[in-house]
Structure 1
């Protein structure tokens, strides 16, 4: 049986539209009919991307612009109500503020690496579902419950809440043995915040994002390099992944 085409899901935990995309990813993976593509998860950091592509204030292009902030929050309210998703905006009252999502991105990259098969092939569907559920847990912690995911204790509690599902995959993960990391939530979060390997994984993802001309989040990129920006391009991205269009060369 030939391998399924891949669809790389590039996301940033500070991005509300990445939250919406994560919902769509999980719904597709948990649908009664299995998707005809495999999701590859690529957590990255928008700060370095913005610094390279479009320098803005320290809060990024949305939260640095009050008018844009108000628009995005209202737009997300409309979209999420239509999708049946809870959304309460960025943490921070009365002014929304970005959260340091570095630790969450590193932990996600580490969990992803623990699930990758020994031959480096795409994650099995069950592993994709497990990781997609985790990604959505982090987004909901931010945009529904307003938890500060920069805090190790918050990430530890989130992972502990899924400990039963993660127990077997982590217990047999060769990477944790290689890095000397104990397969329990507290140790994994500590490694995410301190281990050079987890730092390098997210740095590599961020460098690849810049190299792939990614300038925002979410982005979806197919095997043939076709790029789709925004959660509203999900249907286009999945369709292209399984049946690329015959278009002229890029302008």
Structure 2
């Protein structure tokens, strides 16, 4: 089973979800296809607003609680960060078949250490750290990354996504938010169960 994982590099909840994907995969046997997309692009195209417009202080406290619950590090990010540029960098990595590797390295630096890449040189260093071809990454940023990102956005919209993280299962079910991971696990386990054969008419008759 392959699950589409639409994530945003600037989404703290996407980071939390990413820390749990290995566990979900182990529990369900599912594989995850990492696809970067910005939540602001989804809400702009759907004409909506973010579904969780809580006070920023409340959201930060909520994220810190979830991080403690999962036992993962979290440091909030301050200052200017080019999130769109980082989304395109993730798309460039996706063009090399390495979206997950690059995104994991990006999340580690950004939210586990509080040190996101803030310029092109830092992005290139991160790509090399993640084992990507640096020059290929630079070339992809000026061309294929735009097309890959546009394809991700259209796929997310087609699936009914309105924010990130969003998970889309093989049967088309959509789960939004890292707090829906238990429901995603239940659904995937259900998909992995063989269908129970319907009893035949003769079997029903003999049981009466």
TM above 0.5, one fold? yes
Is it true that 1:51 corresponds to 2:44 in the alignment? Answer: yes
User: d(CA) in 2 for partners of 1:105 and 1:24?
Assistant: 21
Seen in structure 2, the aligned counterparts of structure 1 residues 190 and 108 have a Cα distance that, compared at 3 Å, is: same
CA contact (8 A) 1:9 1:221 kept: yes
Partner of 2:96, secondary structure, is: helix
User: d(CA) in 1 for partners of 2:184 and 2:65?
Assistant: 22
Is it true that 1:81 corresponds to 2:56 in the alignment? Answer: no
Seen in structure 2, the aligned counterparts of structure 1 residues 188 and 147 have a Cα distance that, compared at 3 Å, is: farther
Q: CA RMSD in A?
A: 2.7
TM-score by length of 2: 0.79
TM-score by length of 1: 0.67
Partner of 1:228, secondary structure, is: strand
| 2:151 aligned residue | 204
Q: Alignment partner for residue 215 of structure 1, among 162, 174, 177?
A: 162
The correspondence of residues 180-191 of structure 1 with structure 2, limited to 5 A, is 184-185=133-134, 187-191=135-139
Q: Alignment partner for residue 18 of structure 2, among 13, 19, 22?
A: 22
User: d(CA) in 2 for partners of 1:190 and 1:111?
Assistant: 10
Offset of 1:155 from its aligned partner? 1.4
Structure 1 unmatched ranges of 5 or more: 116-129, 167-183, 247-251
CA contact (8 A) 1:89 1:143 kept: yes
Offset of 1:44 from its aligned partner? 0.9
Is it true that 1:112 corresponds to 2:80 in the alignment? Answer: no
Partner of 1:39, secondary structure, is: strand
Partner deviation per Cα, 1:144-173 (whole Å, 9 max, x = no partner): 33334352111111122233xx5xxxxxxx
User: d(CA) in 2 for partners of 1:201 and 1:132?
Assistant: 14
Say which one has the larger Rg.
2
Which runs of structure 1 show a deviation greater than 4 angstroms over 4 or more consecutive aligned residues?
none
Partner deviation per Cα, 1:184-228 (whole Å, 9 max, x = no partner): 32x234224312x21011011112212222111101110111111
| 1:135 aligned residue | 103
| 1:157 aligned residue | 125
| 2:203 aligned residue | none
| 1:235 aligned residue | 182
Offset of 1:37 from its aligned partner? 1.2
Partner of 2:6, secondary structure, is: strand
CA contact (8 A) 2:106 2:126 kept: yes
Offset of 1:140 from its aligned partner? 2.4
Aligned length: 193
